Structure 1
Amino acid sequence: MAEIMAAMPVAVLILAPDNRVADANPRAEILLNMARSAIVGSEITRIIRIDQINPTFDLWHSDKPLAVYDILLHAGRTVSLRADVMIAPLGEHEGWRTVTIHTQSLAQKIGGRRTAGGTRSAMGAAAILAHEIKNPLSGIRGAAQLLENSAGEEGAPLTRLICNEVDRIAALIDRMQDFTTERKLECQPTNIYPVLDQAIQIASAGFASGVKLVRHYDPSLPNALCHADTLAQVIINLLKNASEALTDTAHPQIRIETAFRHGVSVMLDEGKGNAVLPIEIAVIDNGPGVPAAIQDDLFNPFISGKSGGQGLGLALVDKLIRDMNGFVEYVRDKDLGESIFRIMLPMGTRE
């Protein structure tokens, strides 16, 4: 056990049932800026102090696995830092737990991505493009249509090409403008299954008509706190993304799964506390997966693994899910050869 802990690339603490630290690995000593002898025997609340956590959310007295993403904490003698804290029961030892601290916050990769980065840049670019380019485009298209009437058979294909390219650029700008909206979504307790079924119906009748779509639903899933139309847009985008990835797959299949997950929480912006996210929606395909080189930046604007891709679809998915206080992540199951886009949302009240 000691050798395994020493080899762990993240800070690991072992908690006894009385919430005192029973062991700590070298990474924990470095993170906390404390010797192991000073850590062992101390109460966990003296070692890791969390200011932002909701008082009703008891992080240290739970027998279930917990994951708190992007949390501000004071660790040992170090200054404040943002990290992800994972707590899990220790095998068959009742009351014992492991605590791992990931200082390079995973939330920056899975949906806690802040608008201060690439998305905010895209928002500014979209506003400028809409104002400076879109209006002249309508004039160019109108002129091309007038030319088409007098161009004859030889010139008609060129004028149609102009119109098609103008329409393509205008559509791209429309998609970019989705980043400029800062309106607050009115989220309500929602039965997500009609929303999912609507998105699947649209996909099966159009872009995913040649793909086998499989539903694996948890029948006891409670309502999610979300915006139904926005969630439908997100699921359609993910289904389209998955279907495009299956072009060269012999037996293309997309699975839509739901589940209830305990112990997943993220910190909200601007000191609004934490949000518990137990509602899971997964869109899973058996395609080749996202190239490793772009996985860390997959949800940033203008990042795409598809030839000719604009790199806006997944960035928009990320923004819309964050607008609903959720997060989205991508993982690759190498053993099963599957790509998984997982959405976590807050729970609403039962009807």
Structure 2
Amino acid sequence: MPSKEASGADISGFDPSRPSAEAQIAGLVFALLLVDENAFIVEANHAAENMLGVSARRLIGRPLLDIIGPLDPRVEKRLSDAEAALVARDIRINASETELRVNLTVSPLSTNRAWRVITLSQVGHEETGSDDELASSMGAPSILAHEIKNPLAAIRGAGQLAARKLPHKDKKLARMITDEVDRIARLIDRMQQLGARHAEEAAPCNPHEAIRAAIATVRAAGTNGVEITEEFDPSLPPVLANRDALEQVLINLITNARDAASSGARGKVTIRTRFISGLAFSAIRLGRAVRLPIEITVSDNGPGIDPALRDRVFEPFVTSKQSGQGLGLALVRKLVRDMNGSISHERDIRAELTHFRLHLPLAKPGEE
């Protein structure tokens, strides 16, 4: 290992290339807030802006509990003691009228009496449950999937035959049948490999093409009177993902949103895309941070997920649908994790909307 002298660093221990304290704080993947002796926010890093949905300029000068409260009474009581340290796991906060589950720490500063550093790290719903648990719980569906392949082949053959006999204007529907059968067959193969450790092969992918293909599939199956709209950022670069897997994830999310929104008189589902830029979402994968700046959000104005199930929606066999199998979101979680992405959900209490947020990595230059 090169010595400090050889590397050009100051032998006194100061390394001029070392990032500043501000740069280190800005690079943290969890939210950090500095509060003064009156519990007013004095500083906020990028991750705090991203999590709380408020810019640092608007956070600074406001009471902490006005931003994240009300909290569990026990946590609020502890926070009232400006000299007390605190570690609170899996508590609920309100961020811009959206309820989030977070781990919270409070660290009093010995150099400044009653000043504290607050950290917040979101409890990722997609992280609950191990791959081993998922693999074992998916055993029965995998066996069932094997039995589905034979009738799928017959459906595909019928679709091809219909394509030859239908008028030209109707051939598109027949091609959709064969395309969907092929996609389902690939999905079945993937279900049989849910317990596998290797990830699906990823490649540069246009996220909007995958979204539009998913929307077309859902519309072909019927919208149940629900309006499905797009709000795209046309400048988004390609993501690094498996196209089939991404399309399947989106079909599941949009279908669930459609079903939820159809319970109301004016059901609406909106699919948005955006680049998070400096507020890039980060997730820990295999011991390293993965930047996930591409965000795809599927929102619906339905009644929301049953609070009793809200924390377990990505687990296998958890569903609120009478005829549901509880496999859709478990599969979504697996496919997203295989793409080194992140999937989470939240309920916007004020707007009465449910959001499923998908974050994906960028395709690196030269991979296109």
Question: Is TM (by shorter chain) over 0.5?
Answer: yes
1:100 aligns with 2:119: yes
Taking a change above 3 Å as real, the CA distance of residues 40 and 206 of structure 1, as seen in their structure-2 partners, is: same
Taking a change above 3 Å as real, the CA distance of residues 25 and 338 of structure 1, as seen in their structure-2 partners, is: farther
1:249 aligns with 2:268: no
| Match 2:199 to one of 184, 197, 213 | 184
Q: 1:25-53 CA deviation, whole Å, 9 max, x = no partner?
A: 73448999998354759xxxxxxxxxxxx
1:259 aligns with 2:274: yes
Matched residue type, 2:123: L
Give the length in aligned residue pairs. 244
Structure 1 runs not aligned, ≥5 long: 12-23, 42-96, 139-170
Structure 2 runs not aligned, ≥5 long: 1-35, 40-62, 77-81, 90-103, 152-184
Matched residue type, 1:195: A
The SS at the match of 1:311 is coil
Partner residue in 2 for 1:210: 225
Contact 1:284 1:338 in 2 (8 A): yes
| Match 2:357 to one of 319, 342, 345 | 342
Q: Distance in 2 between matches of 1:39 and 1:120?
A: 50
Partner residue in 2 for 1:36: 108
With the length of structure 1 as denominator, give the TM-score of the two structures. Answer: 0.59
Matched residue type, 1:228: R
Partner residue in 2 for 1:222: 237
Taking a change above 3 Å as real, the CA distance of residues 199 and 29 of structure 1, as seen in their structure-2 partners, is: closer
Contact 2:86 2:107 in 1 (8 A): no
| Match 2:308 to one of 277, 286, 293 | 293
Contact 1:123 1:179 in 2 (8 A): yes
The SS at the match of 1:215 is strand
Contact 1:185 1:323 in 2 (8 A): yes
Matched residue type, 1:268: R
Q: 1:164-219 CA deviation, whole Å, 9 max, x = no partner?
A: xxxxxxx9x96964634444212122221111111111112223263211100012
Deviation at 1:294, TM superposition (A): 0.3
The SS at the match of 1:179 is coil
Q: 1:100-119 CA deviation, whole Å, 9 max, x = no partner?
A: 144xx612x1x233524641
Deviation at 1:299, TM superposition (A): 0.4
1:113 aligns with 2:128: yes
Q: Distance in 1 between matches of 2:314 and 2:107?
A: 39
The SS at the match of 2:194 is helix
Q: Equivalent residues in 2 for 1:110-189 (5 A)?
A: 111-116=126-131, 118-126=133-141, 129=143, 177=192, 179-189=194-204
Contact 1:225 1:346 in 2 (8 A): yes
Contact 1:5 1:25 in 2 (8 A): no
RMSD: 3.9
Q: Which moved more, 1:240-249 or 1:324-333?
A: 240-249
Q: Distance in 1 between matches of 2:111 and 2:131?
A: 36
Matched residue type, 2:84: P
Taking a change above 3 Å as real, the CA distance of residues 286 and 325 of structure 1, as seen in their structure-2 partners, is: same
Q: Distance in 2 between matches of 1:284 and 1:347?
A: 23
Q: Distance in 2 between matches of 1:124 and 1:281?
A: 30
Q: 1:278-320 CA deviation, whole Å, 9 max, x = no partner?
A: 1000111111110000000010001001112111001101110
With the length of structure 2 as denominator, give the TM-score of the two structures. Answer: 0.57
Q: Distance in 2 between matches of 1:204 and 1:274?
A: 37
Q: Which moved more, 1:28-37 or 1:240-249?
A: 28-37
Contact 2:240 2:361 in 1 (8 A): yes
1:198 aligns with 2:213: yes
Q: 1:92-139 CA deviation, whole Å, 9 max, x = no partner?
A: xxxxx965144xx612x1x23352464133144556x559x969xx9x
Contact 1:266 1:274 in 2 (8 A): yes
Contact 1:126 1:179 in 2 (8 A): no
The SS at the match of 1:275 is strand
Taking a change above 3 Å as real, the CA distance of residues 247 and 39 of structure 1, as seen in their structure-2 partners, is: same
Q: 1:8-32 CA deviation, whole Å, 9 max, x = no partner?
A: 7779xxxxxxxxxxxx773448999
Contact 1:122 1:179 in 2 (8 A): no
Taking a change above 3 Å as real, the CA distance of residues 39 and 328 of structure 1, as seen in their structure-2 partners, is: farther
Partner residue in 2 for 1:26: 84
Contact 1:222 1:349 in 2 (8 A): no
Deviation at 1:5, TM superposition (A): 5.0
Matched residue type, 1:36: P
Partner residue in 2 for 1:308: 323
